[in-house]
Amino acid sequence: MNDINRLKSKLEKLGAEEFGAKSDGHVFKVSNLDEVMTVMLREIDETLLGRELEFRNDRGDMIGLEVSGRRLLCVSKVLPERLATSFKSLLKVATFDAHGPEIDDMARLLDAFSEEATKLKVTSHGLSRAMGSSEVGCSPDSLAQAWSLDAVETTEENEESAVASFLASCRDIASAWIQLKEGSVTRKSGDEALIERLVSLASDGFSIPDIGLKQGGNSAEAKRCIVLRSPSLEQHSVLFAENENRAALVLFPAENLSQVISKWHSAVA
């Protein structure tokens, strides 16, 4: 989210609080559990005053979180009843640290909540109760660590980046991938040993060479990818994709080539 959008979002939230107006909320595109978790953690991280954040997916499921001082206090409500019953032990239980059983339960709740969800709407309301002085809560960083989220991606990535949407769609067909922004690794997923190789490849300067097939030269906006294959590369193919200042390195089983190309084609279409 750029500074102008961030400021606009803050002003909307402040306005809603001051004048009692109801925010229409923000809608995020999501395609998997990691993206749902990422949106939630970012919203928690941006909430200073005591608020109840409501996350509603496009299937109609809802999770309410009480948040204050950029920390998660508790899960306040869950809909529908089926989910609420399954995770009854989680409701209104204060979160103190990232190692409590409620954090694992919450990950399972989010897993169920994320299933087949493609959109996530976030709304915010003032807390209807007074906070206790002993309510410490749990920070987004600790939650990210407990949930093995490697990095919290910006919503801008989710909404606009062809590279990010390509990686999200490769979740089940890639063995490992890393996402790069201006040369730094921002996200990673998959087998740790393979990730290390990809990081090493990136630090060695692996990229798309300027091979001059495009008339008029290569622009920064170009959406390009290369795939290199060899029978000896442990049955894996390596892909490098780039668009503007974002890039991805992906290792995938050789037999998934046509699927990977199809995913990239869809992402840039």
Partner 1 sequence: MNISRQLDTLLQDFPNCETVAFADISTGLVLCSSTRKTMSRGQLDALCAAAIELLNGKQASLASATLDPNGNAKVQEALLMEDGLLNIFVRSSVVSTEALCCICVPEIEIDSFIDRACSELANFDTD
List of residues contacting partner 1 (CB under 8 A): 197, 200-201, 204-209, 211-214, 222-234, 236, 238, 240, 251, 255, 257-258, 261-262, 264-265
Give the residue with the Cβ less far from partner 1, 89 or 219: 219
246: enclosing H helix or E strand: strand 246-253
Tell me how far apart the alpha carbons of residues 37 and 110 are, in angstroms, rounded to a whole number: 7
- Three-class SS of 85-123: HHCHHHECCCCCCCCCHHHHHHHHHHHHHHCCCCEEEEE
- Return all residues near 197 (Cβ < 8 A) that are at least 6 apart: 176, 251
As measured in angstroms, the least distance from the Cβ of 201 to partner 1 is: 5
Give the residue with the Cβ less far from partner 1, 97 or 234: 234
52: enclosing H helix or E strand: strand 51-57
Written as six digits, the tokens of 15 are 């306005």
Phi then psi dihedrals of residue 116, to 5 deg = 65, 10
As measured in angstroms, the least distance from the Cβ of 264 to partner 1 is: 6
As measured in angstroms, the least distance from the Cβ of 29 to partner 1 is: 23
Give the residue with the Cβ less far from partner 1, 182 or 204: 204
Phi then psi dihedrals of residue 122, to 5 deg = -115, 125
Give the residue with the Cβ less far from partner 1, 118 or 230: 230
As measured in angstroms, the least distance from the Cβ of 217 to partner 1 is: 12
Helical spans, DSSP H, in the chain: 3-19, 33-45, 81-86, 101-114, 140-146, 155-160, 162-169, 192-203, 257-268
Residue with tokens 């200042």: 245
Report strand pairing: 26-29 vs 223-229.
unpaired
As measured in angstroms, the least distance from the Cβ of 234 to partner 1 is: 7
Give the residue with the Cβ less far from partner 1, 140 or 190: 190
With H, G, I as helix, E, B as strand and everything else as coil, classify residue 163.
helix
With H, G, I as helix, E, B as strand and everything else as coil, classify residue 148.
coil
Give the residue with the Cβ less far from partner 1, 4 or 213: 213
As measured in angstroms, the least distance from the Cβ of 202 to partner 1 is: 10
Give the residue with the Cβ less far from partner 1, 10 or 229: 229
As measured in angstroms, the least distance from the Cβ of 233 to partner 1 is: 4
